[in-house]
Structure formats: C-alpha cells, structure tokens
Chains A and B, each alone.
Chain A
C-alpha cells in the first residue's frame, strides 16, 4: 500500500545512507507520506494510543524494576518502598498499574472498532490474527505483573490462573507444578513471573511490528469498509493522522491523568494492600476488570474441565472470526441486521463483566434470580454470536447499497455535516 516511493535524497549524506540503510526512505514511505483513507474517524486513533501505552508501560516498568525485589519475603515491602521512599516512586507505580487498565480500555475500543467495520475480513485476516495474539500476550503480561506486588489478590490470582492448567487430563498436575516450581505458588513462582513479565512486553513490541507490517500490505480499512480506489481516496499519514491521533491521544491522557492523580486505587482492589497469605483465601476474589467477562464464563459452568475449555474457547474463537463472518460487506454501516447484533455483543460482554465482578452466589439486584444464570445466558450468547449469528446473518442479510468510492461519499457528505466550512 506504500505506493511508489517519492523520496529523493537531498544531501550527499542522505544519498550515501539511502544506498546502505534506507531508513529515511522507510520512514517517508510508511509514516510520513503513507497513503491513508481520508475518512478515518476517532475510533481509528486507538492503534496509535495503544503504541503510546506500550511505550509508557515499558518505560515505567523498567524504572520500577530498578527498585523492586522479586523475592517472596521482600516483594511486598519493596513495593511499599517504591510507594513511600523512592523519589516519585508512587507516581511511576500508579502510572504503570493504571497504565495497564488504560491499555486494555484502548485495546477493547480497538477490537470492537475492528468488529464493527469488518476490519478482520479479507484481505486483512493476518492483521486480525496478530491482533488477537497481541491481546492474549497482553493478558498474560498483565496477569504476571499483577502477581508481582505479592499481596493477597496477587497470590490468589496466581493460584487460580495457574490452576486453570490442572484441568487438562493426566498431564495437568505436572504442568501446574512445573509452572510453580514447587507444590504451590511460592518464591520460585514469583521469580519466574518477574522474569517473564519483563520479557513479554518486548515480545508484544515484536508482534506489533508484524501487526503494522500486515496492515501496511493492504492498507487501512475505513468506516465505509470499501477499498481505496486511487489517490483521491487517501491523504498522507503526516500531518493528517499524526495530528488527529495526537489530538485524541491527549484526550485519552486526560482521563489517564485524572485516574492516576485523583483515583489511583479506584481500579483494583484494596485486598491487595495486605501481604500474601498462602493459607487464607480472601472472601471474594476477583480478577482485574479487563478479565472479568472471561471469569464470568469460567464461573457460569459448574464443571471444571468444561469451564476452563469455555474460557479458553472464548479467546480462541476470536482467531476464527475472519472465516465465521460470511458477509460480503465489511462495514456494519451498510449491514442493517448485523449492526444490531454488534451492539448486543457489546452489551453481552459488559454484562459478562458485571456478572464476573459480583460474588458467585449473588442475585440480580432486588430479585431472587441468581446472577449465575444471567452469566450462563450471556455466555451462551457470546458463543452463539460468533458461531451462529455471524455466519447466518452474513449469509441471509441484504446489505444497503455501498457508495462508489471513499472520495465521493466523503466529499458529498462534507458540506452537509460540517455546515458552512471552507
């Protein structure tokens, strides 16, 4: 999608460099003059926001590792040391812990945007698959990081998540002991979790490069979901989208700063402020908010193996989305039936999160309906959406007519939308 190169080395040094390491040419082709559909909206700025947060997490994480001790007897106190003694330690830790939440908020927006506009459909399947992979590695990284403060919730999250593997018949128990390095979550577990937590962000960075590479082969999808037909449909990435991305990034950062400075403990649970105790499980154990829907799926099934399979199945299903959607049209804007199911899936996911956040024996407020039944129906819908709704609606729905090109659609709509413009 980069198109023919327009880069002309200007100085002797640039010519010399261009023949040896064409890095300026690469930047020119893939960042500065990279042709981008002219109609990308706010929901397309989250890729940039995610890149920014990956950098934030790596920078703050490297700093935290300078002061943190991954030893079961010292870890909790070293985090308190960061919070109380290290200069600006509290700020860097809150940026890191809340940065994880912002990272997930952004990735959920990014994923639902992809689902709404059909960005996973041919020829962009690899972008989507790499994205799902990134999402899973992100969850692993976040989980490992969450265990490091060695508070009560850290410890029991580590116990429950590693025990998911004990559901595997026969080899499950040896695998779990291998993960632990002992008979339970203990010092060896903490050491290896720290090592892997430091490693995985760089794996994420590597897969992000593949993700963007795969994006730059066919080029961006867009809210209309139709292909770019020529230069009239695109604008250069810089300055149009560097500025647009920056604008929305600043908006997102205001939310981030508001949380970090005014409610840094609002996300997460106060139980983690007491040190890990291997013989007492807290009354209510809940994962971080971004894992709650999967937690609800796990809990809605009263059988260990099937529950764990449903949890992992809910994730693995996402890999198949490009082939489960049988619609010829990408964007939900032109899909009058599927559009509604998209919103149902969004509400269903939030509902699963709500069920996951509540105690296992809770009822729907002001009723005697057990919440676990709501979780069961929501779980059922989640799978039905991907394995029944997506293929069947795609097959039988009659989409609305598509515009001829991005340029005609955007330029004819522009005066109407912006009123008296230029």
Chain B
C-alpha cells in the first residue's frame, strides 16, 4: 500500500476517502434517532395547559398546583407584601429582567411586569393585572428545588417571599431572586384570567 508515495493522488485514493467520508456521515446520521428518542415525546408535549380556580386562596397564602410536572405557585399577596415589592428599585435586583412569558424578553423586573398576564382573547374577559395575584413556576432557578413560601407563622428568608432550602436562594414577594446562588427570578408562566376567580395557565 504505497499510494501515498506517488506524486499524483490516484483513483484508488479518491475512492478510499470518499468511502470513508460517506461511512462517517452515515454513521453520524444514524446516531441521531438514538439521541433524539430521549427528547420529550409527543404525549408529554401535549400536556401543556391547565385551568385553576383561585377562589379558596386567602390573602397572604401561597397555593401550589401542578403544571407541566412542575409546581405552580398562586399567591394572593397582602397589601404589605405588595408595598414591599413595589418599593424595591430594579437596580437593586440580582436579575433585572421580568422573566415573564407574557412580556417581551427584555422587560425590566418591576413588580408590575411580574404580574402581567396574557392579553385575554375573549372580548369582555378581564385582562388587567391584579396586584394581589402572583402566578409563578415554583422551580428554583438554581437547581430546580421547590422553594418554601413565607407565612405569618413560619418565616422563610429575609425578603418575605420564598426560601429554597436546598442551597439557600431567597426570593421576594414578587418572586424575584434576592440572594443567590439562583441566577434568575422565578419564571412567570403564560397565563390569563378567564374570570375574576379562574385562571388558565399554559
């Protein structure tokens, strides 16, 4: 096998390289189904929206529902909690972005922007934000634990919102991260008010 020593590439060299290249491409291509099979399947993708009745939620209470196999927090805030969230300047926040699926990605993390639902599709349905209601995906943006809500009887962290016991991240009463290691505010899912007591998430 001394083709490489001849000055001109031969027909045989070309065939070797072409065969090797085709074989490699074929091998890599045939790997893809074995990788892609691990991505979320069609039935998992189909389970995307739920409706929640928020009538029983009392002021100061945070209730947990399940959405897309994650906890969903619906919190009815007290006037003091609303006040606490409103008075914080955005410049003091660890994550200055609203992280609200209902707003553009660069919306700042004001309390207002954290509350904004989707614009209602049905005419006459309430679309306005209600400062009482905070709807969040209850997944700590650090490593995915469920943070615990502050209650009048059990203090969770120094900011009145949530404390994640896994690694110590703290969130305020608008679900914004105030103490790391979590890098982002809690996500606000796409949701809308169907009526004053009913929301649709997803």
Q: Are the CB atoms of B183 and A178 closer together than 8 Å?
A: no
Give chain A residues whose Cβ lies under 8 Å from the Cβ of B64. 279-280
Q: Are the CB atoms of A360 and B165 closer together than 8 Å?
A: yes
Knowing A160-B145, A178-B38, A304-B142 are in contact, say whether A184-B183 is a contact too (CB < 8 A): no
Q: How far is the CB of B47 from chain A (nearest CB, A)?
A: 9
Most buried by A among B44, B68, B145, B166: B166
| Distance between Cα atoms of A375 and B13 in the complex (Å) | 60
Partner of B166, one of A160, A177, A183, A302: A160
Q: How far is the CB of A376 from chain B (nearest CB, A)?
A: 13
| Distance between Cα atoms of A188 and B66 in the complex (Å) | 18
Within 8 A of A (CB), among B29-88: 35, 38-41, 44, 64-66, 68-71
Give chain A residues whose Cβ lies under 8 Å from the Cβ of B41. 181-182, 188
Decide if A215 is an interface residue (CB 8 Å cutoff).
no
Q: Are the CB atoms of A283 and B165 closer together than 8 Å?
A: yes
Q: How far is the CB of B50 from chain A (nearest CB, A)?
A: 13
| Distance between Cα atoms of A181 and B43 in the complex (Å) | 11
Q: Are the CB atoms of A183 and B165 closer together than 8 Å?
A: no
Q: How far is the CB of B37 from chain A (nearest CB, A)?
A: 9
Q: How far is the CB of A413 from chain B (nearest CB, A)?
A: 51
| Distance between Cα atoms of A164 and B164 in the complex (Å) | 16
Give chain A residues whose Cβ lies under 8 Å from the Cβ of B142. 163, 304
| Distance between Cα atoms of A361 and B168 in the complex (Å) | 7
Knowing A285-B145, A301-B181, A303-B180 are in contact, say whether A184-B165 is a contact too (CB < 8 A): no
Give chain A residues whose Cβ lies under 8 Å from the Cβ of B181. 299, 301-304, 307
Decide if B182 is an interface residue (CB 8 Å cutoff).
yes
Residue of B at shortest CB range from A192?
B38
Q: Are the CB atoms of A280 and B146 closer together than 8 Å?
A: yes
Partner of A182, one of B69, B138, B139, B146: B69
Decide if B144 is an interface residue (CB 8 Å cutoff).
yes
Residue of A at shortest CB range from B168?
A360
Decide if A159 is an interface residue (CB 8 Å cutoff).
yes
Partner of A284, one of B38, B44, B68, B165: B165
| Distance between Cα atoms of A280 and B183 in the complex (Å) | 21
Main DSSP-derived SS at the B contact region: loop
| Distance between Cα atoms of A184 and B69 in the complex (Å) | 6
| Distance between Cα atoms of A163 and B66 in the complex (Å) | 19
Residue of B at shortest CB range from A156?
B145
Partner of B180, one of A162, A180, A281, A304: A304
Decide if B119 is an interface residue (CB 8 Å cutoff).
no
Decide if B167 is an interface residue (CB 8 Å cutoff).
yes
Q: Are the CB atoms of A177 and B146 closer together than 8 Å?
A: no
Knowing A278-B69, A278-B70 are in contact, say whether A302-B180 is a contact too (CB < 8 A): yes
| Distance between Cα atoms of A280 and B144 in the complex (Å) | 11
Decide if B143 is an interface residue (CB 8 Å cutoff).
yes
Q: How far is the CB of B6 from chain A (nearest CB, A)?
A: 38
| Distance between Cα atoms of A385 and B31 in the complex (Å) | 42
Q: How far is the CB of A135 from chain B (nearest CB, A)?
A: 22
Give chain A residues whose Cβ lies under 8 Å from the Cβ of B144. 159-160, 162-163, 166, 184
| Distance between Cα atoms of A329 and B183 in the complex (Å) | 46
Q: Are the CB atoms of B146 and A298 closer together than 8 Å?
A: no
Decide if A186 is an interface residue (CB 8 Å cutoff).
yes
Residue of A at shortest CB range from B179?
A302
| Distance between Cα atoms of A36 and B143 in the complex (Å) | 48
Give chain B residues whose Cβ lies under 8 Å from the Cβ of A163. 142-144
Q: How far is the CB of B29 from chain A (nearest CB, A)?
A: 18
Interface string of A290-310 (1 = CB under 8 A from B): 000000001101111101000
| Distance between Cα atoms of A132 and B59 in the complex (Å) | 54
| Distance between Cα atoms of A305 and B70 in the complex (Å) | 23
Residue of A at shortest CB range from B71?
A279
Partner of B40, one of A156, A177, A299, A301: A177
Give chain B residues whose Cβ lies under 8 Å from the Cβ of A299. 167-168, 181
Q: Are the CB atoms of A279 and B183 closer together than 8 Å?
A: no
Within 8 A of A (CB), among B138-157: 138-139, 141-148
Interface string of B108-133 (1 = CB under 8 A from A): 00000000000000000000000000
Q: Are the CB atoms of B167 and A298 closer together than 8 Å?
A: yes
Q: How far is the CB of B152 from chain A (nearest CB, A)?
A: 19
| Distance between Cα atoms of A280 and B179 in the complex (Å) | 21
Partner of A160, one of B39, B69, B71, B143: B143
Partner of A285, one of B65, B165, B180: B165
Most buried by B among A159, A307, A372: A159
Q: How far is the CB of B59 from chain A (nearest CB, A)?
A: 22
Q: A159-B144, A164-B143, A281-B165 are in contact. List 9 more A-B contacts (CB 8 A).
A: A160-B144, A178-B39, A181-B40, A192-B38, A279-B138, A284-B165, A285-B165, A304-B142, A304-B143
**Partner-A contacts on B (CB < 8 A):** 35, 38-41, 44, 64-66, 68-71, 138-139, 141-148, 164-168, 179-183
Q: Lowest 9 A-B CB distances belong to which pairs?
A: A184-B69, A279-B71, A163-B144, A163-B143, A360-B168, A302-B180, A183-B68, A281-B146, A281-B145
* Complex A-B: 28 CB contacts under 8 Å: A156-B145, A159-B144, A160-B145, A162-B144, A163-B142, A163-B143, A178-B35, A178-B39, A181-B39, A184-B139, A278-B70, A278-B71, A279-B64, A279-B146, A280-B146, A281-B145, A281-B147, A281-B166, A284-B165, A285-B166, A299-B181, A302-B180, A302-B181, A304-B141, A304-B180, A304-B182, A307-B181, A360-B167
